[in-house]
């Protein structure tokens, strides 16, 4: 089953309980402060880094139970498994209580009426959140249905020793990025830049670059407007980058692990990555950390806003939860400042904080690489861009590879830049019902 099908089925199965949600949500808001009791089931996506975070979550749930006399359990699932199990549970009327998914899936749940409004929780937590882009949490038709658990974004990592040997400065603009990559390319021995074509990565690169060039995928009314100069400019830049020979010719076939390994072996001078690269370095090549640099994603022209893809996870309460009060209490318990800060710090940069208190930790402020990721996080965007934000059809578009495919088509010569941008615009309008 493909990701696009599962998302479509998800939206179809979530529509059945949209009616009547408002009254139920109102009742839950009135009783949000009730003492939690009973069983609470949390379906979590904390499977990153080979599951090393799971014991920390389980310990936290145990502490919650000890304080409240509840019985909390967690199921840890990867994306595809989590979607299929959630679909089945919703169809059977056995939804869990607390859930964790990315912004697009969370918004799909909200649009389908499957989430309980948590405006009360958001009102209490909101003062402590970083000034994230509006799409970092899920608002739908005036209500908040999820809150940002933690974030991830990508910056430009590079080997400082290779830059010094070539007499090159870290790039700020696209032109400097290409020039640096050319200066650092030595045939098959060493390439200036590398990126994976596997999965969603290509789309998560060129669409934010278009935002940096002034493009908004969605306008203020949520209407698709991809067929514009900033999107053509971004794809053309990526095409020129590849054509210049600063990336391996086989780039369109590369998987994420291939790219990571080539960077660790210094076969590539630069890589666009999130904090997960730090975990790979720590476990596979710790010596690389000593000569690792990191800068904001280069911009089209000096003074433009650096944009990178905004990933991460949200927490939410299912509308059909058997214990909504317990789920809401547990959600807030996971944001207790001291524990939350220690949890995020333990991820070594793979997860970035959504709260100001955690972002102010010395681990993030004193390490120049982590500080750069925190700075990048402040201007990162999802596909919808900084003006409108997210929309329910965006997740289905991502799963159908509508964002990644244009870049792959241009690099492989299947489509021209104009054709690829028009394809994206046309297909998005079909999904959005705007054709």
Q: What count of other Cβ atoms lies within 10 Å of the Cβ of residue 163?
A: 20
Q: Phi and psi dihedrals of 213, rounded to 5?
A: -85, 5
pLDDT given at position 271: 97
- Every domain of the chain and the residues it spans: 3-152+310-377, 155-308+400-432
Pairing of strands 310-317, 98-101: antiparallel
CATH architecture of 155-308+400-432: 3-Layer(aba) Sandwich (3.40)
Sheet-wide strand order for 39-44: 71-76, 39-44, 98-101, 310-317, 143-153, 138-140
Helix (H) or strand (E) holding 62: helix 54-68
Q: 155-308+400-432: same fold as 3-152+310-377?
A: yes
Task: Give, as one character, the DSSP assignment of residue 414.
Answer: S
- Least Cα distance to 433 among 398, 400, 393, 385 occurs for 393
Q: Provide the pLDDT for residue 29.
A: 33
Q: What is the pLDDT along the chain (435 residues), one digit of tens a residue?
A: 233 333 333 333 333 322 222 323 333 333 345 789 999 999 999 998 788 899 999 999 999 999 999 999 999 999 989 999 999 999 999 999 999 999 999 999 999 999 999 999 999 999 999 988 766 788 999 999 999 999 999 999 999 999 999 999 999 999 999 999 999 999 999 999 998 888 899 999 999 999 999 999 999 999 999 999 999 999 999 999 999 999 999 998 988 899 999 999 999 999 999 999 998 999 999 999 999 999 999 999 999 999 999 999 999 999 999 999 999 999 999 999 999 999 999 988 889 999 999 999 999 999 999 999 999 999 999 999 988 888 999 999 999 999 999 999 999 999 999 999 999 999 999 999 998
Identify whether the C-beta of residue 218 lies closer than 8 Å to the C-beta of residue 225.
yes
Positive/negative CA dihedral, 388, 391, 393, 395: positive
> What is the C-alpha to C-alpha distance for residues 198 and 251, in angstroms, rounded to an integer?
10
Q: What is the largest CA-CA distance in the chain?
A: 66
151 SS3 class: strand
| CATH code for the structural domain at 3-152+310-377 | 3.40.190.10
Distance CA 222, CA 216 (A): 10
Name the phi and psi angles at 182, rounded to 5. -65, -40
CA distance 349 to 315: 20
Nearest residue to 11 (alpha-carbon basis) of 109, 93, 89: 109
Q: Is the pTM here over 0.95, yes or no?
A: no
Using CB atoms within 10 Å of the CB of residue 372, give its burial: 0 to 12 exposed, 13 to 18 middle, 19+ buried.
middle
Give helix then strand counts, H and E, for the chain. 22, 9
Phi, psi of 36 (to 5 degrees): -70, 145
Q: What dihedral do alpha carbons 129, 218, 350, 355 form, nearest 10°?
A: 0
- C-alpha to C-alpha distance for 85 and 81, rounded to whole angstroms: 6
């Amino acid at each position: 089953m493909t990701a696009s099908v599962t998302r479509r089925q998800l939206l179809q199965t979530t529509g059945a309980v949209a009616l009547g949600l408002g009254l139920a949500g109102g009742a839950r808001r009135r009783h949000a402060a009730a003492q939690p009791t009973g069983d609470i089931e949390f379906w979590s996506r904390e499977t990153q880094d080979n599951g090393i975070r799971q014991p920390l979550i389980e310990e936290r749930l145990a502490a919650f139970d000890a304080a409240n006399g509840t019985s909390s359990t967690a199921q840890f699932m990867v994306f595809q498994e989590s979607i299929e199990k959630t679909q089945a549970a919703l169809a059977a009327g056995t939804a869990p209580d607390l859930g964790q998914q990315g912004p697009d899936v969370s918004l799909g749940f909200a649009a389908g009426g499957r989430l309980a409004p948590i405006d009360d929780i958001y009102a209490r937590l909101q003062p402590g959140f970083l000034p994230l882009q509006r799409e970092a949490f899920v608002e739908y038709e005036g209500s908040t249905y999820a809150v940002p658990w933690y974030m991830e974004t990508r910056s430009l990592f590079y080997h400082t020793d290779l830059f010094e040997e070539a007499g090159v400065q870290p790039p700020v603009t696209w032109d400097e990025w290409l020039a640096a990559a050319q200066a650092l390319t030595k045939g098959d021995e060493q390439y200036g830049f590398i990126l994976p074509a596997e999965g969603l990565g290509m789309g998560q690169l060129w669409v934010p670059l278009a935002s940096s060039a002034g493009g908004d995928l969605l306008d203020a009314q949520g209407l698709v407007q991809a067929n514009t100069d900033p999107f053509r400019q971004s794809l053309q830049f990526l095409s020129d980058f590849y054509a210049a020979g600063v990336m391996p010719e086989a780039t369109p076939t590369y998987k994420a692990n291939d790219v990571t390994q080539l960077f660790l072996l210094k076969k590539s001078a630069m890589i666009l990555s999130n904090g997960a690269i730090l975990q790979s370095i720590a476990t596979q090549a710790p010596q690389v950390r000593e000569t690792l640099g990191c800068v904001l994603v280069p911009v089209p022209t000096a003074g433009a806003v650096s944009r990178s893809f905004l990933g991460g996870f949200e927490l939410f309460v299912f509308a059909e939860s058997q214990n909504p009060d317990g789920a809401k209490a547990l959600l807030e318990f996971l944001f207790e400042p001291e524990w939350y800060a220690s949890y995020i710090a333990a991820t070594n940069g793979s997860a970035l904080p959504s709260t100001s208190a955690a972002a102010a930790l010395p681990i993030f402020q004193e390490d120049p690489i982590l500080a750069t990721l925190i700075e990048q996080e402040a201007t990162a965007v999802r596909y919808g861009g900084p003006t409108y934000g997210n929309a329910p059809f965006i997740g289905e578009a991502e799963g159908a590879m509508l964002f990644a495919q244009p870049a792959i088509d241009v690099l492989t010569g299947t489509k021209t830049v104009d054709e690829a941008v028009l394809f994206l615009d046309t297909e998005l309008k079909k999904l959005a019902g705007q054709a």
